[in-house]
Amino acid sequence: MCTQHLLKTKKRPNLAIIYLIVITLGVVSGLSNIAFLQTTGLIISDIFIKIFKCISLPIIALSIIVTLSQYNADTEMKGIWQKTLFYTITTTIIAASVACVMYLLIAPANIATVGRVASTAVTKASQGNYMDYLIHLIPGNIFAPFLDHHVMGALFTSMVIGIAIRYIPDIESRQSITNFFKGSHGIFLVVTGWVVKIIPIALFGFITTTIVQLKSGVDISGLGGYLAVVVFANVIQGFVILPAFLHMNNIKPFAAMRGMLPALSVAFFSKSSAGTLPITMETVEKNLGVSAKVSRFVLPLCTSINMNGCAAFIFTTVIYLMQNNGMEVTFMTMLLWIFIATIAAIGNAGVPMGCFFLSASLLTSMDVPIVLLGLILPFYSIIDMIETSLNVWSDSCVAKVIDVQMTKDAT
């Protein structure tokens, strides 16, 4: 584990240099009056938007199906499984809700966009609103949500399929269909890995497109407000909501936080909940006194589906880009996106750069321009550190609470 961590650490400076070079090239390209460079940047931006749109809903849908279908609720772990799922969904919804409240309080200003991007968004906004998504929640056929890029319909269909698989009476048939979806999920993870490796090319396109807009007098002061929403939402969830959750179950919150510092520090610098999992298990069992039976079931499950930080990021990013691109953002729209962000975060299992990628995918699936993500991407590394630490902290809290409750139930 230590060797792997050191290897990852050695690779980071190279990746940072690559990002710095690409950002510089994007800025130079956008500032220059060379039509070829600017056209190339716009073409690259459009290509990656299409790539995101192509693999967005399938990978989220398959992640949800695999997550909901691969655990058998009929085993002796039924109680732990149900508690884990309940607390995971609850804390993730609260995390997205906190982000919503912070967004309303801070009210980040727009980054004014011009040109074809703004006109595209206005056209899309005029075609309908999110009540249409609610009306068409139940699709006419199983493929319609994916063909029409209807986010809510696809998520609803995936949840139904994932749960239904668990209740197929024939064991062999159940296992076969589960393996099919696992294999399909694996295919898209491989493709996603390829996309992530060439993401610097996408960054060049997004930066070039954004700089072209900045030259037309775009005000980016609102970006500070956006970043404040993301950071404060994570801080409040980590230092207020989760400690209150522990206190409600007669657990000393800050003593638990001190005990989890070894795992939290590794999560912060590694930016990987899955990579931190062995240390998280050891720390939870040794410092928090959680039984191995609970920790070794709850923590791997939570690592896959308990994404408090991701839900807050998805909510804030989607709402902010919708607002910037001229789409109407009502209170009802925000409430709807609290649940969409929660479901999407749960479906984030195994996706590299998951939160950023899912946000881009959801936006492109609704034809919302994502070039402004080029401004956010340079800050994403720091955001990812905070989010990963929050996710591991939330996983630990859920494991500790379940362990305490299972102990009480046994006595």
DSSP secondary structure of 379-411: HHHHHHHHHHHHHHHHHHHHHHHHHHHHHHHH-
Question: What is the residue-level pLDDT of the chain in tens, covering all 411 positions?
Answer: 443 443 444 444 465 677 778 878 888 888 887 878 878 887 887 787 677 667 767 876 787 787 677 655 545 467 777 888 889 889 999 999 999 999 999 988 887 554 434 333 333 433 444 455 456 567 777 777 777 766 667 777 888 888 899 889 888 888 899 899 989 888 887 887 787 677 778 778 877 876 776 665 555 567 888 999 999 999 999 999 999 999 999 999 999 999 998 888 877 866 767 667 778 888 898 899 988 878 877 887 787 677 888 899 999 999 999 888 888 888 888 998 998 888 888 766 544 466 777 787 778 767 777 777 777 877 787 888 888 889 999 999 999 999 898 877 766
Question: What's the pTM value of the predicted model, to 2 decimals?
Answer: 0.69
What SS3 class is residue 249?
coil
The 10 Å Cβ neighbour count of residue 320 is: 25
Q: Which residue has the tokens 């995390």?
A: 95
* CATH of range 2-406; options 1.10.10, 1.10.3860, 1.10.730, 3.30.390: 1.10.3860
DSSP 8-state code for residue 325: T
Q: What are phi and psi for residue 225, nearest 5 degrees? A: -65, -40
Residue 366 C-alpha from the chain's centroid: 17
**By the 8 A CB rule, do 92 and 306 touch?**
yes
Q: Chain centroid to CA 101: how far?
A: 19
Q: Specify the residue for token string 């068409």.
A: 136
Which residue is associated with the tokens 């909501």?
241
The encoded tokens of residue 65 equal: 């199906």
Residue in 294, 260, 293 with CA at minimum distance from that of residue 279: 260
Domain spans in the chain, listed from the N-terminal domain onward: 2-406
User: E strands of 167-245, at which residues?
Assistant: none
Pairwise CA distance, residues 130 & 122, whole Å: 15
**Helices marked H in 249-353 — which ranges?**
253-259, 261-270, 273-287, 292-305, 308-324, 331-346
User: What is the rounded distance in angstroms from the CA atom of residue 15 to the CA atom of residue 196?
Assistant: 12
Tell me how far apart the alpha carbons of residues 373 and 164 are, in angstroms, rounded to a whole number. Answer: 36
Q: Residue 179: is it exposed, middle or buried by C-beta count within 10 angstroms (0-12/13-18/19+)?
A: exposed
